[in-house]
Structure 1
Amino acid sequence: MEELSAAIGVSRPTLSRYFQDPAKVSRSSIERIRRGLEKVDYTPNFFATRMNRKSTGMIGVIIPYLNDLFFTRLLEAIELAAMEAGYTVITQCSHSDPEIESRAAETFLSMNVDGAIVAPLGNHSDLHIYERLNARLPFVLLDSRPEPLNDVDFVGTDHVQSTGIITEYLCRVGSPPVFLAMPRVNFNALERENAYIARMEEFGFEPVVIGTEAIHPDWHFEAHGLAVLDDQFSRGRLLESSILCANDRVAIGALRAAAKHGLEPGARRKGGLRIAGHDDYPLCPYTTPPLTTVGQNVAMIGQVAVDRLLEKLRAENNAEDQFIKLIDGELKVRESA
C-alpha cells in the first residue's frame, strides 16, 4: 500500500479509504487514483482485501452434480441474486460423494464465508456437517430436505402440490398413471412417490409404483428409466399406459425405451401410451416428442434462498424460528402426454 500510494501520489490512508469505499474520498482524489491505477496496472487481491474485515463478501454454495442442467440453472439463479446484493459466490460440487461434500463444507468454514447454501447430496449425506454449518454461520438448505434437520432453513418445491397437479391432469385426460420411480438416492424421490400415492388414493385409484430399486449402481437417471421400461415393454406391459416419471431425466430414458419399441407417447393413432415427468428440465421442449412435465420455479428458489441468507446475515445469525418456503410447480403440457 505504501509503494502504491507513493507511485500514485496520494497518501496511504486516502488510498485505503478508496479501496474500502470510493465515496469516502474526494472526487479529485478518485480521479487521481484511477489514473494512477491504470498506469501501474494494479489489481487488488480479492482475499487480502477481506482478511481484516468483518465480512468477506463471499457466499459458499455446494451442489451435488455438475452434469445436471437443473443444478446449473439453480446455481445461475443463486449467483445472479448474490451479485445483485454485492456478494461473490464460491461454488463446490460434492460429485455424488458424501466425503467430498463434507470437505467442501469445511473449506467454506476455513475461508470464513459469510454464509452457505447447500443442495444436499441425498440420503448418503452426513447430516452432522449441515448441523455444523448451521451452528457456525448463516445457512440455508435448498431443493431437497433431510427430515431429521428440524432447525435448518429450507427453500424448495412443494412436491405435494407439484406431483399432485400432474397426477390429477393425467387421471383427468386419460388412464390413471403408473409411477416410474427412481432409486431413492435423495429425499425428493420419496416425497414425490408418496405424493403420487396419496393423490391416487384420493381419486379412488390404486397406486402402481415401479422402478424403486437401482438396476445398476453406476447408472444415472436416464439409464434407469430406459432399463425399467425396456423390460416392461419387452414383456408386453404398459404399452398403452400413462406413465408418470419421478423426474425428467428418468422420463428422457423412458422416451428412449418407447422409441426402441416403436411406440409414440401422446400419439393417439398408436394407442394410449403417455409419458410425463417432473422438473421441466431445459431439454424437455426438444425431446421427441416434447415432454409433458411440471416446472420447478428455479429462479424463485435461488432468489428466496439468497434473500433468506441475507436476512440472517443482517441479524448476525441470531436464533430465529425455522424458515421453510415451499414453492408451487407449474404444469407444462406438451405432446408426450
Structure 2
Amino acid sequence: MEDFAKACGLSRPTLAKFFDDPASVRPATRKRIEAALAQSDYRPNPFARNLNRRRARTIGIVVPTVADPFYAALVALLEEHCRSAGFWPLVLSSRGEAEGEALALRTLLDQRVSGALIASCGADALAEPARTLGERMPLVFLDSASGAAGGFVGNDNGQSVAALVDYLAEGGEAPAYLDMPDVNASARERRARYLSRMAERGLAPHRITPPGNGWDFERLGFEAMEAILQTGPPRFRSLLCANDRLALGALAAAFARGVTIGQAPGALRIAGHDDHPLSRYACPALTTMAQDVEAHAALATRMLLDALRDGPEAATRILLPARLTVRASA
C-alpha cells in the first residue's frame, strides 16, 4: 500500500479512506486512484488491513446448514444487509451439530470479527462458548436462541403453532403432530406449544415421533407416514407437521399409498410450518405458517449494528408472528 500510495502521489491515509468508502474522498482524488488501480491491478489485502484495526469490519454468520432453503434464503439476506452497511460477511455452517457450532464460534473469535449473527442448535453444551464469544463482541441469535447470550430475533412459535392447531381443529378433527428431531430450541418450543394448545382446547394430543435424527426432514416425514400407513388408514384426519420439509415427505408417502389429501370429505388434511419455497408447488399445495424471512434478516442485522454502536445492551429480544397461509392440502 505504501508503494501504491507513492505511485499515485497520494498519502497512505487518503488511500485508506478511499478503500473504506470511495465516496469519502473528493471526486478528483477518487478518479485519480481508480485510474491508478486500473493501470496497476493493485488490490488491497483486507486481512492485512484488518490486522491494523482493533476489530475487523467483518460480521460472522453461523447457520446449521446452507442446504436447507430457509437458511439459504436467510444467509443471502443477511449477507446483503451486512454488505450494505459496509461489513464483510463470513458464513460458517455448524452442520446442525453442537460440536460444529462450537468450532464455528471459536473460528469467529480467532478471526476477530466485529459481531456475529447466529442460528444456533441451542444445545446446553453451547452456552459456555456463546458466553465467551459474547464477552468479546455483540451477538444476535436468529431462529433458535442459545441461553441468555446476546439478542434474539425469531419466530413466535407460540403464536404460529397455536394458530395451526386452532385452524385444523375448527375445520375438522383435532390434529395429530408429526414432530421433528430435537435439533434446536424451535423444535422444543413447537412441540411444547402443540401439547399446551391441545390441552387448552380440551383435546387429546397425538404426537408422532420421527424415525431418526438429523436434518434430513423430507426422508423422516416420508418414513413416518409410510410406517403409519402400513397398518391401514391413519386414525387421525388432520396432521400438523413441525416444519414444511417433514410435511413434504409425508405428502409424498401418502400420495404413493393412494391417500386423498385436502379438503374433500374423508380426505387427510396435512399442514406444515415455515412456508418452504416448494410448499406452494407441492401437490396439493401445502397449508403452512409463513415466516417473514426478510424481516428476520433486516431486524437482526439492525440490532447487531446498533449493539456495535451503542453497546451490547442495545441487543434485545424480538418475536415475529407468522401468517397462516391456507392452500389445498388443508
Q: Normalization by structure 1: what TM-score? A: 0.91
Q: Tell me the alpha carbon deviations over residues 291-320 of structure 1, each in whole angstroms, 9 at most, x when there is no partner.
A: 100011111111111111111100243xx3
Distance 2:261 2:232 in 1: 15
Distance 1:329 1:174 in 2: 22
Distance 2:157 2:213 in 1: 26
Conserved in 1, the CA contact under 8 Å of 2:98 and 2:123? no
Match runs of 1:29-40 below 5 Å: 29-40=29-40
2:217 alignment partner in structure 1: 221
Q: Tell me the alpha carbon deviations over residues 20-57 of structure 1, each in whole angstroms, 9 at most, x when there is no partner.
A: 45566544333222211111111111222222234421
Helix, strand or coil for the counterpart of 1:268?
coil
The offset of 1:217, in angstroms, is 4.4
Conserved in 1, the CA contact under 8 Å of 2:57 and 2:114? yes
Distance 2:90 2:252 in 1: 37
Conserved in 1, the CA contact under 8 Å of 2:169 and 2:175? yes
Match runs of 1:160-179 below 5 Å: 160-179=158-177
Question: Which of 294, 316, 323 lines up with 2:316 in the alignment?
Answer: 323
2:230 alignment partner in structure 1: 234
Distance 2:153 2:24 in 1: 38
The offset of 1:281, in angstroms, is 0.6
Greater Cα shift, 16-25 or 279-288: 16-25
Helix, strand or coil for the counterpart of 1:47?
helix
In the alignment, residue 131 of structure 2 is paired with which amino acid?
Answer: E
The offset of 1:139, in angstroms, is 0.6
Tell me the C-alpha RMSD between the 2 structures: 2.1
Match runs of 1:281-320 below 5 Å: 281-317=276-312, 320=313
Conserved in 1, the CA contact under 8 Å of 2:181 and 2:213? no
Matched-pair identity in %: 38
1:334 alignment partner in structure 2: 327
Q: Does 1:247 align with 2:243?
A: yes
Helix, strand or coil for the counterpart of 2:46?
coil
The offset of 1:253, in angstroms, is 1.0
Check 1:50–1:232 CA distance in 2 against 1; reply closer, same or farther (3 A cut). Answer: same
Greater Cα shift, 6-15 or 137-146: 6-15
2:113 alignment partner in structure 1: 113
Q: Normalization by structure 2: what TM-score? A: 0.93
Conserved in 2, the CA contact under 8 Å of 1:239 and 1:273? no
Check 1:219–1:308 CA distance in 2 against 1; reply closer, same or farther (3 A cut). Answer: closer
| Count of matched residue pairs | 330
In the alignment, residue 220 of structure 2 is paired with which amino acid?
Answer: H
Check 1:195–1:17 CA distance in 2 against 1; reply closer, same or farther (3 A cut). Answer: closer
Distance 1:290 1:255 in 2: 10
- Give the gaps of 5 or more residues in structure 1: none
In the alignment, residue 302 of structure 2 is paired with which amino acid?
Answer: D
Greater Cα shift, 42-51 or 231-240: 231-240
The offset of 1:79, in angstroms, is 1.4
1:256 alignment partner in structure 2: 252
Q: Does 1:279 align with 2:277?
A: no
Conserved in 2, the CA contact under 8 Å of 1:233 and 1:239? no
Q: Tell me the alpha carbon deviations over residues 179-237 of structure 1, each in whole angstroms, 9 at most, x when there is no partner.
A: 111222222112111211222222222121112xx523467211211122111112124
Match runs of 1:1-337 below 5 Å: 1-22=1-22, 25-123=25-123, 125-146=125-146, 149-211=147-209, 214-217=210-213, 220-238=216-234, 241-266=237-262, 268=264, 271-317=266-312, 320=313, 323-337=316-330
Check 1:286–1:242 CA distance in 2 against 1; reply closer, same or farther (3 A cut). Answer: same
The offset of 1:107, in angstroms, is 1.2
Helix, strand or coil for the counterpart of 1:53?
coil
Greater Cα shift, 25-34 or 326-335: 25-34
Q: Tell me the alpha carbon deviations over residues 64-99 of structure 1, each in whole angstroms, 9 at most, x when there is no partner.
A: 112111100111221122122121110000113322
- Give the gaps of 5 or more residues in structure 2: none
Helix, strand or coil for the counterpart of 1:48?
helix
Helix, strand or coil for the counterpart of 1:35?
helix
In the alignment, residue 253 of structure 1 is paired with which amino acid?
Answer: G
Helix, strand or coil for the counterpart of 1:161?
helix
Distance 1:14 1:331 in 2: 54
Distance 1:156 1:101 in 2: 18
